[in-house]
Amino acid sequence: MPVRHNIDVMHVEKKVSDALLSILMHNAKSKDGLKARKDLEDMGIRRTLHSEVRGKKTYLPPASYWLSKAEKIRFCRRLSKFRGPDGYCANVGNCVSVEPPAIGNMKSHDHHVLIQNLFHVALRGLLHKGPRIAARGVYAEGYLAGECLAFCLEFLQNSLPVQDVVNRNEDIDSDQLALEGRPLQKATQVTLTDKERDIAHRYILMNTAVMDPYVESSARDSRHTADIVTFYGVVKEIILLDYHMFQVPLFRYVWANKGNGVKEEEAFTLVNLYMNQSAFLQDPYILASQAKQVFYSREDDTSPWYVVMRTPPRGYHEL
């Protein structure tokens, strides 16, 4: 069927990402060369970037969006150490060299993840404020396009006879007693101490619907305000409490302290995951239904701070 516009969005996105990387790294593929600078001269704009003739050589003044050698190494090191959740992307580190700093051989989907989610984190603190603002504008347009595409897919999924690909966790026989998904390793049976059992049981009890009126009443009596508060942490254990008639999954976390372990910088949320856990000894658990998936990108090897990154879980589209 002839169509008026047939554009491969992923291919276009790969070309844009390649161009951005080339300009930032100022390599041989960079579009910011002599011809581009001559165009600026013809238009009479950006005079600080006009080419300069020095003897027999033509000199290109450095631009604010060029990374220095130290910044290139820092940028590549952040990408090389990035690890995303299951199904998020391929191992980007395989396409990155730190010494010398270089990036190449990335697939279309890797470029998609890079331009949509990783650029603004990996470049944090490296560019001047102007280029960073422009980059965030590009990302905002990308998010809007992604939401529109997800809406169209949701709307058309019942009208297009396309066979869905079976995800890796859908080949497991469904069982009412088993949680959805595939375990990373064989489960082990553990016996909680009396104190651990009481803490876990109390948390489950206080977070059931039947207890809501009593919790609200207690909050009013003590002049407290009941509200939803966001905490950040890392799952260390998934415990399945067996009540014989039913089972309840609990997540045991290492938490970031809400006071001095979480901060906001330049529209980024940063958490410190290496803090004392004494404040959470009586409250290390949450229910599986209370958790939302995030993952972290570390600032550098010497920093205890991690940038919070969000992505929908595998196979889930939130409209």
Q: What is the mean pLDDT of residues 9-22?
A: 88
The pLDDT score that the predictor gives to residue 319 is 45
Secondary structure (H, E, C), the chain: CCCCCCCCHHHHHHHHHHHHHHHHHCCCCCCCCHHHHHHHHHHCCCHHHCCEEECCEEECCCCCCCCCHHHHHHHHHHHHCCCCCCCCCCCHHHHEECCCCEECCCCHHHHHHHHHHHHHHHCCCCCCHHHHHHHHHHHHHHHHHHHHHHHHHHHHCCCCCCCCCCCCCCCCCCCCCCCCCCCCCCCCCCCCCHHHHHHHHHHHHHCCHHHHHHHHHHHHHCCCCCCCCCCCEEEEEEEEEECCCCEEEEEEEEECCCCCCEEEECCEEEEECCCCCHHHCCCCEEEHHHCCCEEEEECCCCCCEEEEEECCCCCCCCC
299: exposed, middle or buried (Cβ count in 10 Å: 0-12, 13-18, 19+): middle
Lowest mean pLDDT among 83-87, 105-109, 305-309: 83-87
Residue 317 located in a structural domain:
no
Residue 144 located in a structural domain:
yes
Same domain flag for 151 and 236:
no
The pLDDT score that the predictor gives to residue 282 is 84
Residue 40 located in a structural domain:
yes
Same domain flag for 251 and 303:
yes
Is-contact 299 306, C-beta < 8 A? yes
Residue 170 located in a structural domain:
no
Same domain flag for 213 and 280:
yes
Cβ count within 10 A of residue 246? 9
Same domain flag for 151 and 203:
no
Please say if the pLDDT value at position 203 is more than 70: yes
Using a pLDDT cut of 70, give the percent of the chain over it: 74
Same domain flag for 126 and 241:
no
Lowest mean pLDDT among 22-26, 75-79, 297-301: 297-301
Domain boundary among 156, 185, 217: 156
Tens of pLDDT along 27-71?
888 989 999 999 999 999 999 999 999 888 999 999 988 999 999
Residue 43 located in a structural domain:
yes
Nearest Cα to 276, choosing from 296, 259, 292?
Answer: 259
Residue 161 located in a structural domain:
no
Using a pLDDT cut of 90, give the percent of the chain over it: 18
Same domain flag for 150 and 262:
no
The pLDDT score that the predictor gives to residue 188 is 79
Domain boundary among 141, 156, 171: 156
Same domain flag for 138 and 241:
no
How many Å apart are CA 107 and CA 84, to the nearest integer? 16
Same domain flag for 217 and 112:
no
- The answer to whether the bond into 284 is cis (omega within 30° of 0) is no
Amino acid (1-letter code) at residue 207: N
Same domain flag for 215 and 146:
no
Please say if the pLDDT value at position 262 is more than 70: yes
Please say if the pLDDT value at position 155 is more than 70: no
The pLDDT score that the predictor gives to residue 226 is 59
Mean pLDDT of the chain: 79
81 pLDDT band, cuts 50/70/90, is: confident
Residue 85 located in a structural domain:
yes
Please say if the pLDDT value at position 290 is more than 70: yes
Q: Which domain holds residue 293?
A: 194-310
Same domain flag for 202 and 256:
yes
For the chain, how many structural domains are there in total? 2
The pLDDT score that the predictor gives to residue 171 is 54
Lowest mean pLDDT among 148-162, 196-210, 293-307: 148-162
Domain boundary among 127, 156, 185: 156
Same domain flag for 126 and 198:
no
Residue 124 located in a structural domain:
yes
The pLDDT score that the predictor gives to residue 314 is 61
Is-contact 103 79, C-beta < 8 A? yes
How many Å apart are CA 21 and CA 65, to the nearest integer? 11
This prediction's pTM:
0.72
Same domain flag for 39 and 122:
yes
